[in-house]
Structure 1
């Protein structure tokens, strides 16, 4: 089959699936604005396109999000027309539609089957809109209206989606019921042959210091350090953690930007805001045990997981982070927020410990207890890795399931674009 992959940051979630499809003998082409020139990657022909146009000045703020998607959709449509003119007609289109690129592709290829990566449908109920009341919008009564409009891209794609793929049941169930019979739940997969325990791992932190499994290392990871992933909660617990654990080394990964939720006040970062909030309660000697590493290459990330004694993971009811599952695969003892996406992957007392997202006292107490209990940490870590092997293993479970999903998708009668 001829397969077209659409992802604004290719390969993204197609990191393993696209090469596997090429290796299986399919002709796989990817369109992405991430590259500047055509190139070949693991058997996939990767073609560039440029996003043309810009947001309208002074447009209604609720329309900015969709206008950005519309610009991406028309730009990708232009590139797809050129690809069609060169004779490429896909049997299957695989798209992460979250940025809008795939909005108009069925208008070019109505007989292609479209498989969408269904990451999240934005819900207006309180666990989603008002989970963290500290960061509510200035006019919370308008949130439901704004969020409903935010789903315009999702709704337009539903009309042309032949099948969907969602990494977790929690994420699949955010979509309306009439979508769900077309959505298969299969995680992207964890490479357990790579992400595994290493008793000899070493992690360089600050001031030339290296940490090993002999050190009391507590880890915390966000793509960007921000409230959606509980950074503010962890930082507010930090003074007491350092006081209780005089030997602990605290290592945080994450950038200074905003991935999700509200942006910080202009000219500030969430990282620095919450450092400033707690810094006067932490001595200079204790602060020297706190290491902000920013964003790091993947091998260094692996070393971090492998030296971690306890990994703390906090999240709103939202997309589950790969980092939690990778920490479990590395046999970390996990202390995580008792929120719905986490409960799908982790069971209290069996594969980790759970704590109320907002309860900094409970977070500190449970972390203190877990650091004092090597037998429990070892048991939880072994069980966590076993669960990943049984449920989220890339090559033995997830990738075969995704390949089967693509074959099923290719046999469907395509849905036609609707007026």
Structure 2
């Protein structure tokens, strides 16, 4: 591979062109900025293998696969493994199509979580493979068994070990790995951690910043603006993994203590992680059966376009983020970049970023009363938490700023390409 200085001078990357393949069933996933940055240089060729047919990226060739349907019923412990094999097989066919067409990538980057990358090295054994090490399932000390409301069975514990099968294969096969946080890296087997770099995908802190002109219209005709008394909660979906039950159980006490407060809840009603409720269609419905919420003050906004989501964070007086010991949400870092005063769960992934009383406030995950008390403290005297808001934004800028993270990601890819060309 020849070299010249291209679009990546800022990271001292010197190459003439690169052929890159990204693999993620939910395109673009964690590769939104990285794939786009590579594709922005016309000298590069970027291919994305995925299940999705929407969310196009300019100058990126999309290859869509669909998994086979089967009537076979595997052993309970092997259900996720069988599905992973089918995903891996279909992606292998896509890679073979590229190979037979004369396209040999200089580097492949993929998420192993659904088994898609199982056979990458069997099709392209000499191409460097960068494995996205988002999370490794374990029966102790993480999400499994964390919530006493969902006591795990022995079967689920044994099945969990095999659920990690595609992750383990990916760790063994990859040339290098990348994890977004140190805690997420630590969930992986110690023997493989030396080849896992910690680099986040990045948060666009230049775009994500407080907007004094933000406005959030409500169904009753009111418009919320910065300075109003607003509690915000955001999750992709409203579910126990992101502490939705704890939050809802805290809402009545918050509303009683602060009669002028409005609560904004952003998120869908599907299940991203864990299980659906037994006695309701959604976790929102389940919690509204348990908790009395004044619908004139508690507003469920569903999924929002990004600009409206930023407006919600801009009007927030206090923002709540809760999570099991699991993957850290982009939304927490985005709310920090927006200068929110955050009350967050005192759980391991959060503690890596938030220091209690410095750039946020921590509260026990399962304690609605403690959560309500901390939220009320901020609502009662918002200006007393200005230093925490500033520190939160600085944390996002210093450790997770998009351009810095992007440069590090591109630099890692470049080193892998150079090593692969030797």
TM, length-normalised to structure 1: 0.92
Asked if the contact 1:189–1:399 (Cα under 8 Å) also holds between the matched residues in 2, the reply is yes
1:235-384 equivalences under 5 Å are 235-265=248-278, 268-279=281-292, 282=293, 286-384=294-392
* Alignment of 1:181 onto 2:194: yes
CA deviation map 1:259-302 (0-9, x unaligned): 111232276211110111112xx4xxx33100001111111111
Check if 1:106 corresponds to 2:129: no
Question: 1:353 offset after TM fit, Å?
Answer: 0.5
Distance (whole Å) between structure 1 residues aligned to residue 282 and residue 72 of structure 2: 25
**Correspondence for 1:9:** 26
- 1:93 alignment partner in structure 2: 108
Asked whether the equivalents of residues 305 and 332 of structure 1 are also in contact (C-alpha less than 8 Å), the reply is: yes
Q: Are the counterparts in 2 of residues 162 and 412 from structure 1 also a CA contact under 8 Å?
A: no
The residue that corresponds to 1:417 in the other structure is: none
Partner SS state of residue 302, structure 2: coil
Aligned with 2:286: secondary structure? helix
Which is worse superposed, 319-328 or 146-155? Answer: 146-155
User: 2: distance between equivalents of 1:181 and 1:126?
Assistant: 21
8 A contact 1:4–1:28 mirrored in 2: yes
**Deviation string, structure 1 residues 226-279 (Cα, Å, up to 9, x no partner):** 000000001111111111110111000111111111232276211110111112
Summarize deviations over 1:29-87 as a string: whole Å, max 9, x none: 11112128xx97333222223x1312445433322212221111111111221121111
Q: Find 1:166's aligned residue among 179, 182, 187.
A: 179
Distance 1:40 1:250, change over 3 A: closer
Q: Confirm or deny that 1:194 pairs with 2:201.
A: no
Question: 1:181, 1:125 → 2: CA distance?
Answer: 22
Counting matched residue pairs gives 403
Q: 289-298 vs 152-161, which deviates more?
A: 152-161
Residue 417 of structure 2: which of 393, 410, 419 is its match? 410
Q: 1:95 to 1:2 in 2, by over 3 A?
A: same
- Alpha-carbon distance change, 126 to 399 in structure 1, aligned in 2, over 3 angstroms: closer
Preserved contact between residue 55 and residue 68 of structure 1 (Cα < 8 Å): no
Q: What is the CA-CA distance between 1:165 and the residue it aligns to?
A: 0.9
1:204, distance to aligned residue in structure 2 (A): 2.0
Cα gap change, 1:40/1:386 in structure 2, threshold over 3 Å: closer, same or farther?
closer
CA contact (8 A) 1:55 1:64 kept: no
Task: Identify the residue that residue 31 of structure 1 maps to in structure 2.
Answer: 49
User: Residue 409 of structure 1: CA displacement?
Assistant: 1.7
- What TM-score results when the alignment is normalised by the length of structure 2? 0.92
Structure 2: distance between partners of 1:350 and 1:256: 33
- Distance in 2, Cα, partners of 1:175 & 1:254: 29
| Preserved contact between residue 223 and residue 255 of structure 1 (Cα < 8 Å) | yes
**Contact preservation (8 Å) 2:77, 2:155:** no
CA distance in 1, matches of 2:185, 2:305: 30
Secondary structure at 1:4's aligned position in 2?
Answer: strand
CA RMSD of aligned residues (A): 1.7
Taking structure 1 as reference, are residues 62 and 198 closer, same or farther at Cα in structure 2, changes over 3 Å only? same
Task: State the shift of 1:175 in Å.
Answer: 0.3
Match of residue 81 from structure 1? 96
- Among 208, 217, 221, the alignment partner of 2:234 is 221
Question: How many angstroms apart in 1 are the aligned matches of 2:237 and 2:408?
Answer: 31
SS at match of 1:390: helix
Where do 1:51-66 residues align within 5 Å? 51-56=66-71, 58-66=73-81
Q: List per-residue Cα deviations over 1:104-145 (Å, max 9, x = no partner).
A: 1221111110001110000111443221111123x2x34431
